A and B are shown apart, each in its own frame.
Chain A
Amino acid sequence: RKEVEQDPGPFNVPEGATVAFNCTYSNSASQSFFWYRQDCRKEPKLLMSVYSSGNEDGRFTAQLNRASQYISLLIRDSKLSDSATYLCVVKGNQGGKLIFGQGTELSVKP
């Protein structure tokens, strides 16, 4: 089983759509969870940390289910500028290194 597994994508959606990304992780001892976005051939940029209680930042909502080892990201009212690859990222159980999923590509069309 992959350490971090994401929907393969790509997702092609119209502007204004709501889109959800799913992610599972294999190590139940993992402590920290993040969503990063990556534009083509650029560095990963932190989108948001994911907390057990769930958290929201504007149009973005992240959820964590530790029992199912499942992380999600919901984007509401998607914009053209949301087009990117979304990376599900887990921090190792001893802290430190980040473990990345393969990424899910999102393309928002006018």
Chain B
Amino acid sequence: EPEVTQTPSHQVTQMGQEVILRCVPISNHLYFYWYRQILGQKVEFLVSFYNNEISEKSEIFDDQFSVERPDGSNFTLKIRSTKLEDSAMYFCASEEDRVYEQYFGPGTRLTVT
């Protein structure tokens, strides 16, 4: 069964450093998402991406964040200068079409020290 994959599974970084989180969505899916979940809190939408451009972003997704689909398979989330409050699980999701279900990757646990 096709699945969304994410790397790394855990990333530890120092405050102010740049991190890149990577995702490989399901191959025939067209819509891609990043969500985050701070420990003990609900899952929150960050950004959606379609046809090589951002289609929607939340208030959380400020200038420190960027997304890219550098090739036909990878989908990345970059945080330019990490803050302590960026510590969270980051989930990538993809869907075949906007009316369908979204499938989530296993997540990257980001720890900012």
Give A89 to B47 CA distance when docked, in angstroms. Answer: 17
Contact with A along B46-72 (1 / 0, CB 8 A): 001000000110100000000000000
Interface residue total, chain B, C-beta cutoff 8 A = 25
Cβ–Cβ contact B106 & A49, under 8 A: no
B39: nearest chain-A partner, CB-CB: A41
Contact with B along A73-87 (1 / 0, CB 8 A): 000000000000001
B91: nearest chain-A partner, CB-CB: A43
Q: Is A29 an interface residue (CB 8 A)?
A: no
Cβ–Cβ contact A97 & B45, under 8 A: yes
* Residues of chain A with a CB closer than 8 A to B89's CB: 41
| Interface of chain B residues 59 through 113 with chain A (CB within 8 A) | 89, 91, 93, 98-99, 101-107, 109
How many Å from the CB of B95 to the closest CB on chain A? 9
* Residues of chain B with a CB closer than 8 A to A41's CB: 89, 109
Interface residue total, chain A, C-beta cutoff 8 A = 21
How many Å from the CB of B22 to the closest CB on chain A? 15
* Residues of chain B with a CB closer than 8 A to A97's CB: 33, 45, 48, 56, 58
How many Å from the CB of A49 to the closest CB on chain B? 6
Cβ–Cβ contact B101 & A96, under 8 A: no
Cβ–Cβ contact B98 & A95, under 8 A: yes
A96: nearest chain-B partner, CB-CB: B48
A-B contact pairs, 18 of them (CB 8 A): A41-B89, A42-B107, A43-B106, A44-B43, A46-B102, A49-B101, A87-B42, A95-B98, A96-B31, A96-B56, A96-B98, A97-B33, A97-B45, A97-B48, A98-B43, A98-B93, A102-B41, A103-B42
